[in-house]
Structure 1
């Protein structure tokens, strides 16, 4: 039976595991017990939900009892000098009002639920909203050595924002160079605690400050948030172009407010248009990472600092965010991680 299990692991395919399960296992062992078999794995990226589905399918197919014990073993895909952080992922938008900050927070929480150590950095110096969304707007960071600030804990995430340090009225009147300097200080002078991923909530737009931040921060990759509206999609193209200029890979686009699902009859109403993000993704040769509906729980969670990712982990909206989060980090792994079977390898032979 152990040989059958190993064969299944090698042959299993899904959207999350296009090269088979074995290719995302940094290490794994199979042991037998009185109840069946235990699969112990170290994952190259957080994907507990997708892995659990795969193991349940395997158990049913092979008619065997399977238990799973998994941990995440993420590696940095880009060299940098930011202590305590492996990978920095920027969440950006071409314009304001598309739900970028809410999406960034919920992606970070979803990655945490999938097994990763995650932090979030609020780069929106002019209008920081992360403190409110995490329910810690009145807290202030401390310091153990007088040199580096300790990140605050918001719903399990390590968080830092200018909103913790200065009143909102002051943050909104800073000039561009001041804002850029303040942000780089927040990034470099925070004592991040061995994070697998640091999600950076970028300010909306594609102006000078956004370009400066993209150049100064060692971002591993970025993802764009948009609505289906044509005007929003036009600005997303500008955002993708900006990241291209600073040689930051754009993994894909997230379509927020994609549709409204009627709570009574289940009918989908595409209030802001339909198919825009899918067309954009095909045009730009990037992935459509996911579509998020208009949902009351998302709005209430953002206002109250109590995300639906944690308040109802089995809800449809929670599962949507978890799939999107897994899509982001799986793309990061397959495209940029040296351990991925999809990345190029260099071999030198002597004649």
Structure 2
């Protein structure tokens, strides 16, 4: 089976290796208008991918753009919690309507459709990938300048579905300082390269702790290797997030939009320039 194929090649009369990968792109809802789609990915879980997604969407919203988040992490959704969202999404005769945050960011997440936020989603991979496709094709995304797709970790069904079926302008890779994580990051970057998706930047979360008294920086989780990874793949946009109790508190309280994120300002400006 070709990497660009979505069916059983043995019963297909076409030459799948000659097919245009763009033929797999899925049409959004007829009433949607989305200018830039950026996926936020990680090679493993627990590195702060949803945090970076939330902060990037908030940063671009504060710049005056209308932003949105598609929470593609179906089995581990955390976006609604970070924004303190309790309202449920609903459908009208035209399609699904995303829920707006206090700051005006449009959100669609499986937790906005479940009766209880703590209900587990016990679905297999193809069903999960199908739900992500529905978030794209059945949700009315109105006049969105930047959509950030919060991906599940790894290189499985959902990342492949998003890479093949959504018109991505690029991806942001999220990592942490450990040596092992750097190896896993290489996998995510190489997957993007194989799918011809640009890597717009790399964010290293939990990069350092800054002492509030002397302002010296300490590498609690190991020395950073992010510049080495970025240099190997010609990625110029790099950002580092500190270990900061204020960040965790903002997420826990659902007040991520109230948090300033100067650590991501250069990355935001770079993406703004690249996506023009």
TM class by smaller structure? 0.7 to 0.9
The secondary structure found in structure 2 opposite 1:220 is strand
CA distance in 1 between counterparts of 2:41 and 2:189 reads 9
Deviations 1:40-80 (A, max 9, x none): xxxxxxxxxxxxxxxxxxxxxxxxxxxxxxxxxxxxxxx97
Contact 1:114 1:322 (8 Å CA) reproduced: no
TM-score of the superposed pair, with normalisation by structure 2: 0.84
Contact 1:111 1:322 (8 Å CA) reproduced: no
Contact 2:129 2:157 (8 Å CA) reproduced: no
CA distance in 2 between counterparts of 1:288 and 1:228 reads 17
CA distance in 2 between counterparts of 1:266 and 1:90 reads 34
Contact 1:98 1:226 (8 Å CA) reproduced: yes
Q: CA deviation at 1:122?
A: 0.2
CA distance in 1 between counterparts of 2:53 and 2:201 reads 14
Q: Hey, what does 1:90 align to over in structure 2?
A: 39
Q: CA deviation at 1:172?
A: 3.3
Q: 2:184 aligns with which of 213, 226, 235?
A: 235
Moved over 6 A (4+): none
Q: CA deviation at 1:99?
A: 0.5
Unaligned runs of 5+ in 2: 1-24
Contact 1:105 1:130 (8 Å CA) reproduced: yes
Question: Does 1:105 find its partner at 2:54?
Answer: yes
Deviations 1:154-191 (A, max 9, x none): 13211101111124565432100100111110111111
Number of positions where the alignment pairs a residue of Structure 1 with one of Structure 2: 247
The secondary structure found in structure 2 opposite 1:96 is coil
Contact 1:211 1:242 (8 Å CA) reproduced: no
The secondary structure found in structure 2 opposite 1:86 is strand
Unaligned runs of 5+ in 1: 1-78, 334-351
Question: Does 1:142 find its partner at 2:90?
Answer: yes
Q: Hey, what does 2:172 align to over in structure 1?
A: 223
Q: Hey, what does 2:194 align to over in structure 1?
A: 245
Q: Hey, what does 1:115 align to over in structure 2?
A: 64
TM-score of the superposed pair, with normalisation by structure 1: 0.67
Q: Hey, what does 2:262 align to over in structure 1?
A: 319
CA distance in 2 between counterparts of 1:171 and 1:237 reads 31
Q: Hey, what does 1:281 align to over in structure 2?
A: 230
Which of structures 1 and 2 has the bigger CA Rg? 1
CA distance in 2 between counterparts of 1:186 and 1:212 reads 12
The secondary structure found in structure 1 opposite 2:91 is coil
